[in-house]
Amino acid sequence: MNFDKLEFGKYIADHMLLCDYANGEWQQPQIVPFANLSLSPSTLALHYGQTVFEGMKAFRMDDGCINVFRVDKHYERFARSLDRMCMAIPPKEIFTEGLFKLIETDKAWVPKQAGASLYIRPFIYASEAKFGVKVSEQYRFVIFTGPVPDLFASPIKVKVETDYIRAAKGGTGFAKCGGNYGGAFYPTQLAKQQGYDQVLWTTGQENPHIEESGMMNVMFVINDRLVTPPLSDSILDGVTRDSLLVLANDLGYSTEERPVSVAELEKAFRDKTITEAFGAGTAAVVAPIGTIHINNIDYHLPGYSHENLLNKMKLKLERIRTGRDNDVHGWNCITG
Ligand code: COI
């Protein structure tokens, strides 16, 4: 395995964790060699979409230890997503101890290269084989992992989308369920055909407000303040989003979690008060945005250097994760 030529989502470590839920109980978790799953074509998840996943990362610290970032916060979100989808929630011990055992087993897969990490993909699907439309009574919990590179993204072009929405009030937008991602592909494909990398999701046609960027939370620097839409039932409670809000404060910046209208963004470009825009997520950490298309106009951000807040925050996060700076917020979960 050449850790210098990683690609996101391509390589998978040797083992996986399996744990089944049946007769109202979680069974004993097992760590087994990574292999295909065997499913009945009538498996409920394949038809009615009871599937939920998480995305986490383990980092190699400077002293060689392995650090899984913010396990508690990921578990809490996993539980909230599962609850929304009427799915069984594995106890925290199964999640945490299983995860650590799996990473210990495959620790050779945690890259040493700066910025690279072992991506951890816990997921649960409704495994009952029955095609009647119902809440499943059986679930399978799986965790697998795979090494991923630092995504040194050059600034992307995004298109403000008001005809299609990612999530509606009262819907499942805050949950990390598979359908939220599948439903986003079509408008994203349209945006790509028009020359954009991602969609900047909004609340829709009437007085649109910004929601998320692609598969990430979105943040702006306006008047030197870090601004991001507030959490709601249509916005994912991103672990990176939360971490960056804390780090921005630590770095002396004011932060604002408040609604951001598309009209406000247009004005901020006209007044030149917006200096940064970026996606924030576990996979990319920060994904700088270079261009935002609003109402037939491409607005350009000034460009990025080490002085930008997004780069300062990314560096700070990396220093905490590798043990170079003090983990004052207690985010690191260090294993041997
Ligand atoms: C992340 O940014 O980590 C996400 O959740 C996107 C994921 C589907 C790769």
pLDDT at 205 over 80: yes
pLDDT at 275 over 90: yes
Farthest CA pair distance, the chain? 61
- 215-254 per-position pLDDT tens digit: 999 999 999 999 999 999 999 999 999 999 999 999 999 9
Question: Which atom of ligand 1 approaches the CA of 215 most closely?
Answer: 6
Residue/partner pairs of 106-111 with CB below 8 Å, 24 or more apart: 106/13, 106/14, 106/15, 106/145, 107/66, 109/1, 109/13, 109/14, 109/145, 109/146, 109/147, 110/58, 110/59, 110/60, 110/66, 110/147, 111/3, 111/6, 111/60, 111/147
Q: Do residues 141 and 21 touch, judged by C-beta distance below 8 A?
A: yes
Q: Which residue spans of the chain are classified as CATH 3.30.470.10?
A: 15-148
Number of H helices, E strands in the chain: 8, 18
Ligand 1 test: best mutation among 215, 235, 278, most atoms within 8 Å of CB? 215
Cα–ligand 1 centroid distance for 111 (angstroms): 19
Question: Which atom of ligand 1 approaches the CA of 216 most closely?
Answer: 2
Q: Which residue spans of the chain are classified as CATH 3.20.10.10?
A: 156-321
List, as one string, the DSSP characters of 237-268.
--HHHHHHHHHHHHTT--EEE---BHHHHHHH
pLDDT at 46 over 90: yes
Q: How far apart are CA 99 and CA 109, in angstroms?
A: 14
Ligand 1 test: best mutation among 201, 216, 243, most atoms within 8 Å of CB? 216
Q: How far apart are CA 209 and CA 117, in angstroms?
A: 34
Structure-token pair, residue 125: 């699907």
Q: Do residues 73 and 81 touch, judged by C-beta distance below 8 A?
A: no
pLDDT band of residue 3 (cuts 50, 70, 90) is confident
Bridge partners (DSSP) listed for residue 291: 157, 300
Q: Do residues 276 and 220 touch, judged by C-beta distance below 8 A?
A: yes
pLDDT at residue 4 in the model: 83
Q: Which of helix, strand or coil describes residue 80?
A: helix
Q: Which CATH number fits domain 156-321: 3.20.10.10, 3.40.50.2300, 3.40.50.720, 3.20.20.140?
A: 3.20.10.10
**Which residues have CB under 6 Å of ligand 1?**
55, 215-216, 281-284
pTM: 0.96
- 90-138 per-position pLDDT tens digit: 999 999 999 999 999 999 999 999 889 999 999 999 999 999 999 999 9
- 276-312 per-position pLDDT tens digit: 999 999 999 999 999 999 999 999 999 999 999 999 9
Instruction: Indicate the class that CATH gives domain 15-148.
Output: alpha beta
